[in-house]
């Protein structure tokens, strides 16, 4: 059976084949432990780590020494939220990834903090005036993602960071969906903590990073050999780290042109679907969204009926891959007060660097035929 067309780039991206050489080298030829300081094998691997840090730093404008490597964004988020000295007052967007929301709620249940929620409108835009009012009251941590993993909204991080700085509030920005897709400036935008997940930008799964503004400290989640300034003990995932560094290097070179091309493909697919399915609704802030994001709803058509009919032809989703084992409706769509019929008919389409024009055309035909079939039934 041929593979379905892959349109789920928000869930994960294929690894860029150009990373294979650096991964192979770190596993076979330069396999040393970077903590082994007594011989050349360790020295060589440590140099690979330093190079990767600089590649990441160049992409997001941070200092190399501010980078801590983790297994991914979920670990990075937990390191920040659980690493603060309690009790803590969290200001959170209701559209945050569950890694942020669930971790903060777990701290509340343990009596270690409280949460104040930001306001969003029906397009998922954050009320910045209300955000400033919340910050005026003080807080231990402000949590706003750079881009949403479901509806694709891009948030004004520079403006939000400025507000956080004004009121001296540490700012955690989940950059999982944004790094490598849109410009981010850690140094100048008032971000205190930034998370990166490798598998969202064409690097392997299981590698990520946490950027911590110089001068800020956290308590570690993982104790052991005191690696990475004592914050995250454990032998470094060298192959993952060098792959993440190389992926960041390639994104810095190619991001602008790639995202322009991706947006054109997304817009083409959207226009075809809207022309053939008049009832189709595009969710989120269509003026400020990720180039590859197309989040749609078809009223009166359950998304489960669509997925069941396209799963061997198209890889699309009904929501975040991090919550698909639960049957509850998307917390993001609930937070923006989307009508029940639109939530039930919501589909997330994610287009990426390796999506071809031919795949877009074929995907449009498949979706139109299937949606019309289901409409005739419902």
Task: Assign 65 to helix, strand or coil.
Answer: helix
Q: At what angle do helices 40-60 and 238-276 cross, to 10 degrees?
A: 30
Is the pTM of the predicted complex or chain greater than 0.75? Answer: yes
Q: Domains of the chain, with CATH numbers?
A: 5-13+255-377 (3.90.1150.10), 17-250 (3.40.640.10)
Q: Is 322 known to be catalytic?
A: yes
Task: Assign 291 to helix, strand or coil.
Answer: coil
Distance CA 350, CA 6 (A): 8
The reported pLDDT for the residue numbered 320 is: 66
Distances (CA, A) of 47 to 42, 63, 295, 369: 9, 16, 42, 54
Write b or e for each residue in 143-180: b if 16 or more Cβ atoms lie within 10 A of its Cβ, otherwise e. bbbbbbbbbbbbbbbeebbebbbeeebbbbbbbbbbbb
Strand ordering across the sheet containing 346-350: 281-282, 293-297, 346-350
The reported pLDDT for the residue numbered 328 is: 74
Structure tokens that stand for 237 in this block: 């995932």
Query: Which of 135, 143, 173, 322 does the annotation list as catalytic?
Result: 322
Other CB atoms within a 10 A radius of the CB of residue 230 amount to 13
Q: Which residue ranges in the chain fall short of pLDDT 70?
A: 1, 320-327
The reported pLDDT for the residue numbered 322 is: 58
Distance CA 271, CA 273 (A): 5
Closest CA to 61 of 174, 183, 187, 162: 187
């Amino acid at each position: 059976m041929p593979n379905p067309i892959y349109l789920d780039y928000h869930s994960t991206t294929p690894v860029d084949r150009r990373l294979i050489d650096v991964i192979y080298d770190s596993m076979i030829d330069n396999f040393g432990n970077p903590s082994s300081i007594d011989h050349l094998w360790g020295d060589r691997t440590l140099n690979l780590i330093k190079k990767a840090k600089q590649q990441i730093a160049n992409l997001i404008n941070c200092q190399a020494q501010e980078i801590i490597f983790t297994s991914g964004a979920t670990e990075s988020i937990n390191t920040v939220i659980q690493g603060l000295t309690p009790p803590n007052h969290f200001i959170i967007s209701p559209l945050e990834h569950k890694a942020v929301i669930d971790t903060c709620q777990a701290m509340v249940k343990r009596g270690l903090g409280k949460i104040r929620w930001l306001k969003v409108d029906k397009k998922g835009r954050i009320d910045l005036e209300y955000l400033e009012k919340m910050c005026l009251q003080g807080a231990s941590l402000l949590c706003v993602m750079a881009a949403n993993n479901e509806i694709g909204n891009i948030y004004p991080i520079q403006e939000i960071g400025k507000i956080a700085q004004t009121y001296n509030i540490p700012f955690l920005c989940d950059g999982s969906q944004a790094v490598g897709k849109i410009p981010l400036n850690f140094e100048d935008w008032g971000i205190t903590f930034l998370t990166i997940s490798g598998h969202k930008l064409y690097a392997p799964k299981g590698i990520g990073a946490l950027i911590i503004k110089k001068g800020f400290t956290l308590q570690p989640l993982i104790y052991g050999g005191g690696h990475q300034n004592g914050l995250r003990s454990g032998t470094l995932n060298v192959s993952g780290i060098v792959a993440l560094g190389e992926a960041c290097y390639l994104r810095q070179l190619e991001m602008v042109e790639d995202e322009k091309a991706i947006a054109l493909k997304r817009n083409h697919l959207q226009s075809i679907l809207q022309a053939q399915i008049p009832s189709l609704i595009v969710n989120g802030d269509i003026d400020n969204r990720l180039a590859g994001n197309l989040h749609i709803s078809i009223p009166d058509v359950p998304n489960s009926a669509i997925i069941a009919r396209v799963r061997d032809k198209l890889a699309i989703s009904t929501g975040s891959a991090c919550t698909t084992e639960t049957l509850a409706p998307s917390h993001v769509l609930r937070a923006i007060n989307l009508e029940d019929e639109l939530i039930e008919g919501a589909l997330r389409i994610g287009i990426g660097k390796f999506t071809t024009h031919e795949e877009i055309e074929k995907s449009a035909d498949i979706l139109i035929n299937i949606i019309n079939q289901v409409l005739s039934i419902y």
